């Protein structure tokens, strides 16, 4: 891939922006210049990511004419809370941010969600730029404007839709990820192939095992990783442009997530990273879809093979099925007490299913724990 290919546009009228997919931070000053020149810039990050990339990002902000300041939060989903959000807000005040300032989220999904919600809320909304450093964030959470924090009752129950002014992806930052995080991010990649792109799916069937072998050997990531990320961004951009606030087609991006969010909530975010829960959720969704007669056993098997090639789990943890059902009912996609699931019909095509066959769902959940 070139240093910075033609960017991917998220077409939202006056709120449109570009996703820049690059193999370095070389072009970052040029992307930031029209957004940060003469402005104070809070870089929301965690200590680990800041230690790796804070210097390069700060230099880019200065080169673009801005003034950077670090606003650090603890690392981990368990810190995506209202109390940590309040601390981030106070740090922005201490840093002297005003209504012309910009918040940049440098890190994975937790940092991005926090930075986005902070930008949406601080002085009723200031500029936002995402600099995602994990695979999950690069292909999914940094794109589309969903921000938020968790409550004890469930994931992302407090937040806002707030679009960034730019997303800059340096996919070479993935080389610094722990192997577990890189594998977990592949769950969202697998999701895109299943929901929207049979050609991407076939590419994943061919390349997931060798990509994972490179990760395990700490070898340079193959160039196909950049190509996969760009294709995922194109899919996400198209879905977001068609349905910004998740009132229709955008719901398909939650494939596997109804199950995943329930798993994360019941395990208090301490057993699985998000992508692992999504992997389990996708297998559960496909298994339930097959039980309903919506998809073939071959689809379930092909999906499971790619998930397992990525080194991801497929079995549900041993949790109480009644508690799982209750967690499904609290999911944001539930309407009027009716559960909503995104279920596959074929490779590259899913459907939104309202309501459920409770007996069949319960037996599926029980079998998946066996």
Q: How confident is the model at residue 154 (pLDDT cuts 50, 70, 90)?
A: confident
Q: What is the pLDDT of residue 1?
A: 40
Q: One of 274, 283, 332, 333 is an active-site residue; which one?
A: 274
Predicted confidence (pLDDT) per residue in 238-276, tens digit = 999 998 887 788 899 999 999 999 999 999 888 998 899
Q: What is the pLDDT of residue 208?
A: 97
Asked whether the beta carbons of 128 and 164 are under 8 A apart, the reply is yes
274 is a catalytic site residue = yes
Q: What is the pLDDT of residue 245?
A: 85
Q: One of 146, 155, 290, 332 is an active-site residue; which one?
A: 146
172 is a catalytic site residue = no
What stretch(es) of the chain map to CATH 1.20.1090.10? 179-368
Distance CA 101, CA 204 (A): 41
Predicted confidence (pLDDT) per residue in 84-117, tens digit = 999 999 999 999 999 999 999 999 999 999 999 9
Mean residue pLDDT of the chain comes to 94
What stretch(es) of the chain map to CATH 3.40.50.1970? 8-175
46 is a catalytic site residue = no
Distance CA 15, CA 27 (A): 22
Max intra-chain CA distance, the chain: 61
Q: What is the pLDDT of residue 331?
A: 75
Query: So what's the architecture of 179-368 in CATH?
Result: Up-down Bundle (1.20)
Q: One of 27, 77, 181, 188 is an active-site residue; which one?
A: 188
Helix (H/G/I), strand (E/B), else coil: 179: helix
254 is a catalytic site residue = yes
**DSSP annotation of 260:** H
Predicted confidence (pLDDT) per residue in 183-242, tens digit = 999 999 999 999 999 999 999 999 999 999 999 999 999 999 999 999 999 999 999 999
261 is a catalytic site residue = yes
CATH code of the region 8-175: 3.40.50.1970
Distance CA 289, CA 302 (A): 14
């Amino acid at each position: 891939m070139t240093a910075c290919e033609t960017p991917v546009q998220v077409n939202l009228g006056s709120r449109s922006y570009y996703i820049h997919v690059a193999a370095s931070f070389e072009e970052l000053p040029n992307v930031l210049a029209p957004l940060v020149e003469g402005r104070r810039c809070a870089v929301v990050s965690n200590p680990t990511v800041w230690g790796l990339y804070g210097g390069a990002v700060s230099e880019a902000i200065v080169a673009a004419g801005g003034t950077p300041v670090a606003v650090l939060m603890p690392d981990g989903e368990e810190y995506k809370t209202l109390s940590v959000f309040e601390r981030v807000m106070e740090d922005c005040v201490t840093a002297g941010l005003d209504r012309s300032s910009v918040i940049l989220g440098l890190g994975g999904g937790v940092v991005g969600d926090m930075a986005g919600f902070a930008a949406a809320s601080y002085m009723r909304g200031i500029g936002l730029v995402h600099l995602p450093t994990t695979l999950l964030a690069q292909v999914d959470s940094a794109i589309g404007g969903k921000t938020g924090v968790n409550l004890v009752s469930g994931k992302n129950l407090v937040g806002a839709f707030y679009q960034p002014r730019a997303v800059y992806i340096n996919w070479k930052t993935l080389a610094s990820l722990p192997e577990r995080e890189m594998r977990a991010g592949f769950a969202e990649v697998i999701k895109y192939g299943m929901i929207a792109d049979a050609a991407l799916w076939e590419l994943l069937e061919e390349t997931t095992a060798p990509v994972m072998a490179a990760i395990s050997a700490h070898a340079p990531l193959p160039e196909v990783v950049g190509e996969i990320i760009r294709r995922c961004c194109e899919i996400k951009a198209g879905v977001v442009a068609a349905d910004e606030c998740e009132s229709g087609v955008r719901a398909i991006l939650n494939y596997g997530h109804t199950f995943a969010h329930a798993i994360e909530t019941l395990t208090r975010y301490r057993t699985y990273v998000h992508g692992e829960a999504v992997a389990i959720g996708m297998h559960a969704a496909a298994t339930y879809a097959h039980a309903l007669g919506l998809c073939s056993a071959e689809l379930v098997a092909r999906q499971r093979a790619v998930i397992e090639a990525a080194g991801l789990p497929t079995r549900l943890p041993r949790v109480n099925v009644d508690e799982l059902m209750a967690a499904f009912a609290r999911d944001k996609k539930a309407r009027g007490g009716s559960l909503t699931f995104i279920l596959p019909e074929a490779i590259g095509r899913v459907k939104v299913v309202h309501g459920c066959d409770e007996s069949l769902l319960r037996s599926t959940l029980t079998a998946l724990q066996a």
